[in-house]
Amino acid sequence: MARRGKRKGRRINGWLILDKPAGMGSTSAVSKIKWLFNAEKAGHAGTLDPLASGMLPIALGDATKTVPFVMDGAKVYRFKVAWGEERATDDLEGPVTESSDERPTEEAVRALLPNYTGIIMQTPPQFSAVKIDGERAYDLAREGETVEIAAREIEVGRLDLVSFTPDNAVFEIECGKGTYVRSIARDLGRDLGCYGHIAELRRTEVYPFLPDQLVELPALEEAATEGDREAGDFATLDEYLLDIATALEGLPEVAVTDDAAARIRLGNPVIVRGRDAPVEAPEAWASARGRLVALGAVEAGMFKPKRVFAM
């Protein structure tokens, strides 16, 4: 007797902009959303630490093909730094490794901020996903090893002081891919001579998504009860999904006919038409009737597909 194959879930496509609660890991959040939507495939665009809350864009189905474009986008965080202690994890989770009775002045903090904007070098935390000889730094740190992690170049668009007390300060940062906010807190404390660590962290934006697109988990859980899962009724839940192309804001769009779309889906290049169509673009997307057809590049007036999307 042949075995029945394991159900893979629905072929549902789109972006869900989750307001991840503090205390939940990013992987657990993706698993929860995948289960709620009964999705065949899911992934996220940028890990949030378990102690952090806020925007976690989750891609379902074919939206996972557009994850790299979101990963490369700017991010905005609001975070509180507690002065007086440095911790092994650079946040509340780890044990205290250094302490000081010194406390900074507001003037000293403000004077330091220009050093943390623009293109700067940053050393990731010991507890991070950086690979050292093929192993994750956090795995080595949990085994008690202290490893040398090379500083890397990051870009900080702005770092603003939102509020200040002698014991802590709240900042808002807009930064690029690869920035560790925990390292910012650690380095500020060291430069100020008082030590510091993250006490609160919330991600408020991940370009191109907006704060008003955030959805809280309880709302999704409630929506999941309104349909008959066994009968495949997910209509209420699916209303929370954004179109896949939402992630491609900022990339050139090439509008094509239905016939051209059919050729593209077979992997064939097509001539780019239209007065405003790009002649050259290393990254672009083709659409037919407003729907995403493929990701690709425009070379010498031809759109050449690299990844195609189902109808």
Question: Looking at residue 144, what is its pLDDT?
Answer: 62
Cβ contacts of residue 25 below 8 Å, gap of 6+?
A: 50
pLDDT score recorded for residue 143 = 56
Q: What pLDDT is stored for residue 221 in this prediction? A: 95
Res 251: pLDDT: 92
d(CA 69, CA 290) in angstroms, rounded, equals 19
CB-CB contact of 20 with 31 (8 Å): no
Q: How do residues 297-308 score in pLDDT, each as one tens digit?
A: 999 899 999 999
User: What are the structural domains of the chain?
Assistant: 14-72+209-244 (3.30.2350.10), 75-206 (3.30.2350.10), 251-308 (2.30.130.10)
User: In the chain, which ranges are continuous DSSP H helix?
Assistant: 26-37, 67-71, 106-112, 137-142, 181-192, 217-224, 235-238, 258-265
CB 72 within 8 A of CB 155: no
Q: What is the pLDDT of residue 70?
A: 95
Rounded Cα distance between 187 and 23, Å, is: 25
- Return d(Cα 194, Cα 205) in angstroms, integer: 30
At 134 the pLDDT is 62
Dist CA 51 CA 64 (whole Å): 25
Provide φ and ψ at 187, rounded to 5°. Answer: -70, -35
Length of the chain, in residues: 311
pLDDT value at residue 276: 76
**Any idea which residues carry the catalytic annotation?**
49
pLDDT of residue 216: 97
What's the confidence (pLDDT) of residue 1?
46
User: Measured between alpha carbons, how far is residue 107 from residues 35, 104, 164, 165, 172 in Å?
Assistant: 49, 8, 10, 12, 17
What pLDDT, in 10s, does the model give residues 4-63?
555 588 999 999 999 999 999 999 999 999 999 999 999 999 889 889 999 999 999 999
Kindly give, in sequence order, each residue whose CB lies less than 8 Å from that of residue 293, ignoring residues fewer than 6 positions away: 256, 261, 264, 265, 285, 286, 287, 305, 308, 309
- Which parts of the chain sit beneath pLDDT 70? 1-7, 127-146, 311
The confidence score (pLDDT) of residue 306 equals: 96
Q: Which residue has the tokens 């996220």?
A: 44
168 near 80, Cβ under 8 Å? yes
